[in-house]
Amino acid sequence: MTRDRPSRRTVHSDRYAGPHPAAPLPSPRTAAVLAALPVLTVAVASFPVATAFALTLFAGLVAGAALHRRYPDVVDRRLPVAGADPAAAGDDRRSRSSR
């Protein structure tokens, strides 16, 4: 009786072989990002305070965007625009005192 396919134990791919010569190259954008990673690593290691500030700013922007998405009119209610109509700005104190 003959086997239809070779044994899995005898077929090995070469783990140290590079990409196939006919394989497509990465896009220029991908190559640029990969080339920028060492520069970014050195910049982060060189300026820890600036990195911490940038990460804090980014986290604040993300949290602010999430809060604004959940409560879109909270800024208008808490910080009314000077000279605007108090009822339109949501300031109930002025509109109640005039009654």
Question: Is residue 84 predicted with pLDDT exceeding 80?
Answer: no
- Give the residue-averaged pLDDT of 45-70: 92
Round the average pLDDT of the chain to a whole number and report it.
78
Report the C-alpha gap between 32 and 38 in whole angstroms: 11
CB of 97 closer than 8 Å to CB of 86: no
Give mean pLDDT, residues 75-84. Answer: 70
Taking a C-beta distance cutoff of 8 angstroms, is the pair 80, 90 a contact? Answer: yes
Domain ranges of the chain: 28-94
Decide: 65 and 52 in contact? Cβ < 8 Å. Answer: no
Q: Do 92 and 85 form a contact (C-beta atoms < 8 A)?
A: no
pLDDT confidence bin for 88, thresholds 50/70/90: low
pLDDT, tens digit (0-9, with 9 covering 90-100), for 2-50: 666 666 666 667 777 777 778 888 899 999 999 999 998 998 899 999 9
**pLDDT value of position 4:** 66
Helix pair 28-46, 48-70: axis angle to 10 deg: 120
Contacts of 31 (CB under 8 A, 6+ apart): 25
pLDDT for residue 55: 93
